Structure 1
């Protein structure tokens, strides 16, 4: 049976909440993120985007591009509250929900079709109910796999509603620039351009051997995606097998200090999520991708299950240093870190060895109250001045 997959992505979620809560902001360019030398844009309203303002941009740069923009502080607790309302709507149509962030999720509604009707009927219900309960717009993409469902929501934004069928998939995919394809970053895009491939259709029909010379082992997977083929399931298991975070960069990291700083920032995200789930793990994994698509992973076990950010970071940093020193010309286009091997040992045993846990708990409380990143480690501060995070936690 053909799967029915829906991708829901809230439109400019944080900024839309600010505009909803404060009517004086409606219709105006709103930037979520406080002005400051080390601050970055969390989200920009659609009124700010024509000026070039985008997520992860330094707020001072956003101010230069859009001098009349209104900057508001991050209110993460408020965004989580609204996110719970949105996900409650998802739960009314299917238990198969893969949350990607507070404002984005995949839903497998294959088993729900007999109860609710076709996938478009379910998609319309989601849009209508989210709007009724939150006052916010959601873009809904529908297809028979995750790749095309996500692409459908992206192509139809804002307030989008688009279904891609097996019959229409290539007509949608072929004209797109290759840079719109999932997993195609700036380096891969440049490599494809060098061999004359600029559209997804040209990628689909390219000689596999020529592609492999340009992209290495990743070429075959990219060509499958260009043909609209994606077998990834919607992963909705409640029990987490691993918690991780990763970031891809527009400009490759060229120094160990840069890479270490980003690893610290990602370790903070992982540690906060691990503690929020009341978990502790024994295995730290780092993911490192050299340009264009050569991916390496390294793992290490810690002596006792941990949820401490410092333990996760220092273990990952040692793995990163070993890898870095072994490279002739180290460069990184992606870096990630994760924790796995979760156990059910008594909490008092788990945390006795983690001297830094008390400060982690304080940092978590501050970040929940004032927004993620309000309090961060000194080791991560260099990330405020470089890089461009696009990935997330998984």
Structure 2
């Protein structure tokens, strides 16, 4: 079949798009600070242990990459300007962008805060050719949100994703079914989705550096070397990917964590950070219209030993008060700590749709608190740069901390298949 036997998909080709926002965090920041366009920009918390969350293409030209330690990024691009992140703003734009995608097609599979697969097969008669639909998406995202995006279109999901990667930034690449294998076989093997550094190095030891070479390698040889992963990679090299777009891909949990600039021994400071993280998680739950019935706490010590503890709530909640209270109990139950703490994190689990589940609570304090939090949400949406929150948290946040939304926000393919 690989060498040319037509399948049902070949006779009735799907039209699948991968839409990826370009330098998303940076571009959202530029909406507020357009005078910075064209400069070397890095979005990160300005602290010693911070990592790069996003970088402008001008900074990327110096070698700066996402997830790189900020210290290394400063060495590569010493003139880059560091911009603090605004996670809530990124999520609000993401929700609006995904809503727009839903007007193009009902089949939208959100991969992360800034990318999604769209099945456009049923939209062709209404919206035109794949090229025309791709151009429309890029134009309307720019007009409605002021943000650039890149679109890759093919009849296979992984090829659409490769196409968007090859077309970046702010581009469009359509790979027709008739050109599928020519396109794939022209690529380095590292371009395959799921082939990371380790797998690529192992393949290169076998003399395989291109997708064409991978396709022409006997399957039994690949299977002996890589097991079932070898067979999977060879199928990809022949464009064999029948996966469909899976709409309504939901978060299984929502979390946030913080790596301290200096290891922390103070219980009071840990409780303060629990409060701050609880408010961030609760705001995200409310924005998503979800409640959580499970809470987990993660603690990482100086020597990188990591402990996790979890608890089930009596009813689903989206209240920072409840999340904080339960997480604080989990921390206290750990007892005396033998080492200072490097990182603390909280995760809301067992998510339920509809924050109305809070009506099951008979705790008037919780009801009053959630009302107050809704007011804070409204103020934050109206004044994005304003500092809103409990008085105990309205203090300088320039003390060198690394905040990470440990949510399932930045999903990506694993470094190596299998």
Q: TM-score w.r.t. structure 2 length?
A: 0.63
| Worse-superposed segment, 210-219 or 57-66 | 210-219
Equivalence for 2:262:
none
- Looking at structure 1, the residues matched to 146 and 402 of structure 2 have their Cα atoms a distance apart, in angstroms, of 38
Contact 2:316 2:357 in 1 (8 A): no
- Please state if 1:278 is matched with 2:290: yes
- Please state if 1:174 is matched with 2:185: yes
| Worse-superposed segment, 56-65 or 274-283 | 274-283
Alpha-carbon distance, 1:175 to partner: 2.5
Out of 86, 105, 129, the residue aligned to residue 116 of structure 2 is: 105
Alpha-carbon distance, 1:234 to partner: 1.1
Out of 214, 225, 231, the residue aligned to residue 214 of structure 1 is: 225
Equivalence for 1:142:
153
| Worse-superposed segment, 75-84 or 107-116 | 75-84
Contact 2:315 2:358 in 1 (8 A): no
Contact 2:163 2:175 in 1 (8 A): yes
Equivalence for 1:57:
68
Equivalence for 1:2:
13
Out of 131, 139, 157, the residue aligned to residue 128 of structure 1 is: 139
Equivalence for 1:95:
106
- Looking at structure 2, the residues matched to 115 and 133 of structure 1 have their Cα atoms a distance apart, in angstroms, of 21
Structure number with greater Rg is: 2
Contact 1:145 1:230 in 2 (8 A): yes
Task: Quickly say closer, same or farther: Cα 1:17–1:197, change in 2 above 3 A.
Answer: same
- Looking at structure 2, the residues matched to 125 and 179 of structure 1 have their Cα atoms a distance apart, in angstroms, of 31
SS at match of 1:48: helix
Aligned alpha-carbon RMSD (Å): 4.1
Task: Quickly say closer, same or farther: Cα 1:136–1:271, change in 2 above 3 A.
Answer: closer
- Looking at structure 2, the residues matched to 281 and 172 of structure 1 have their Cα atoms a distance apart, in angstroms, of 47
Equivalence for 1:45:
56
Task: Quickly say closer, same or farther: Cα 1:204–1:392, change in 2 above 3 A.
Answer: closer
Alpha-carbon distance, 1:44 to partner: 0.2
Report how many aligned residue pairs link the two structures: 315
Alpha-carbon distance, 1:338 to partner: 11
Alpha-carbon distance, 1:35 to partner: 2.3
- Please state if 1:79 is matched with 2:72: no
- Looking at structure 1, the residues matched to 238 and 284 of structure 2 have their Cα atoms a distance apart, in angstroms, of 36
Contact 1:53 1:65 in 2 (8 A): yes
CA offsets 1:34-93 (integer angstroms, 9 cap, x no match): 321121111000000111101011111111110000110001222233333422331221
Task: Quickly say closer, same or farther: Cα 1:54–1:148, change in 2 above 3 A.
Answer: same
Alpha-carbon distance, 1:192 to partner: 0.9
Matches within 5 A, 1:1-394: 1-237=12-248, 240=250, 242-243=252-253, 276-280=288-292, 347=358, 391-392=411-412
| Worse-superposed segment, 18-27 or 67-76 | 18-27
Equivalence for 1:289:
none
Unaligned runs of 5+ in 2: 1-11, 256-277, 297-309, 318-322, 331-346, 364-368, 386-392, 394-400, 414-418
Alpha-carbon distance, 1:342 to partner: 6.0
- Looking at structure 2, the residues matched to 167 and 342 of structure 1 have their Cα atoms a distance apart, in angstroms, of 44
- Looking at structure 2, the residues matched to 58 and 241 of structure 1 have their Cα atoms a distance apart, in angstroms, of 27
Contact 1:281 1:340 in 2 (8 A): yes
Alpha-carbon distance, 1:350 to partner: 9.0
- Looking at structure 1, the residues matched to 98 and 203 of structure 2 have their Cα atoms a distance apart, in angstroms, of 38
Contact 2:108 2:117 in 1 (8 A): yes
CA offsets 1:161-200 (integer angstroms, 9 cap, x no match): 1101121112211122212211112221122112111111
Task: Quickly say closer, same or farther: Cα 1:213–1:143, change in 2 above 3 A.
Answer: same
Q: TM-score w.r.t. structure 1 length?
A: 0.67
- Looking at structure 2, the residues matched to 341 and 74 of structure 1 have their Cα atoms a distance apart, in angstroms, of 26
